[in-house]
Copies of this chain bind each other. A is one copy, B any other.
């Protein structure tokens, strides 16, 4: 076994999930994440945790859902799903939930009807809530399927994943704390890019009263992805224009070169060079889908390219992202609710050249370099 698989497991168990002796840990292993599963099981044995292993197979999910669909095909209604009592019970008893992604086909559930998915999701609301109440962490094992999604050779993709995951997280958390400090103290963010080859971005948004999350890939930082490496907050009252040059996939549709125009915090105009209909469908979900839910600053310099996976793309150094839709509670004052929506869709801009991010008029990042870094040209 590649020694990096073991290192990945140790970062996951110790830094990310903070597993203690006696913890009951549920590990969900995707179809081709077996090797990472073995390494995680070994680490959990060493730490003295109890382990329950789920098989997180998209192909099994698809079989179950299409089976349900077929049986219900007589009526026009979405299929009904039984009460998932076992899943509720097991998550109620779990201290930690580790999701090891890495299947064989990122499109494995593509032919499951939308109504079926939604009905299934509704039947599992409590399961989801209980999972979120554990110390949960989501990561991926590098598989051929994910390498294909990224347009990379398998060996190359493995190097990419381990460069992103095997960081000095303690040091990165310290650096990200500086960004969090700036955002927590600030009232207004302005992002500008002026590139010859692309539409300009010039957008301002309020962050007054909001708290940024130092997403350092650990439950100790309220951060549940490995890799992570972003600082995010919940902005509002956006004004101006934004161009997102990083391609993405929205509901299996490739979307490129999105432009959004905000007035009074709301998207009043939009366009995309590809996938505009998918974008439109997102924005029309509900009123909250036209307002911002997140501003995130990517700070993981181990990620050096876009791979069409939000787990990696939004954490890349020299990028910022905005999400339309739901805001995260962790960014809001206690008891206050932020932007609400059924969706949360991240869109990413490269800010490595001809760009600035300013907080209350002071530039904090120029051309990807932060104020506290060597080479910052204020």
Contact = CB atoms under 8 A, between A and B. Distances in A.
Interface of A: 21-24, 26, 29, 31, 34, 37-39, 41-57, 59-61, 63-71, 80-90, 92-94
B24 A46 contact: no
Q: Identify the 9 closest CB pairs spanning chains A and B, nearest first.
A: A45-B67, A55-B55, A89-B93, A45-B68, A42-B63, A90-B90, A42-B67, A45-B64, A41-B64
Contact of A55 (B24, B54, B92): B54
Contacts of A61: 41
B48 A86 contact: no
A29 B87 CA distance: 16
B41 A86 contact: no
A131 to B, nearest CB: 12
Copies in the complex: 2
A37 B57 contact: yes
A233 to B, nearest CB: 35
Nearest to A104: B34
Given A85-B93, A88-B93, 11 more contacts: A23-B82, A24-B84, A29-B60, A34-B59, A41-B60, A45-B67, A46-B68, A50-B83, A53-B57, A54-B54, A86-B94
Nearest to A69: B45
Contacts of A90: 52, 86, 89-90, 93
A160 B14 CA distance: 47
A226 B38 CA distance: 29
A45 B22 contact: no
A366 B156 CA distance: 67
A51 B90 CA distance: 13
A63 to B, nearest CB: 4
A77 to B, nearest CB: 14
Contacts of A82: 21-24, 48-50
A81 B23 CA distance: 11
B52 A60 contact: no
A287 to B, nearest CB: 34
A56 B55 CA distance: 8
Contact of A60 (B37, B47, B64, B94): B37
Given A54-B54, A84-B52, A38 B66 contact: no
Contacts of A29: 55, 57, 60
Contacts of A81: 50
Contacts of A44: 64, 67
Given A84-B50, A86-B90, A31 B34 contact: yes
A187 B94 CA distance: 52
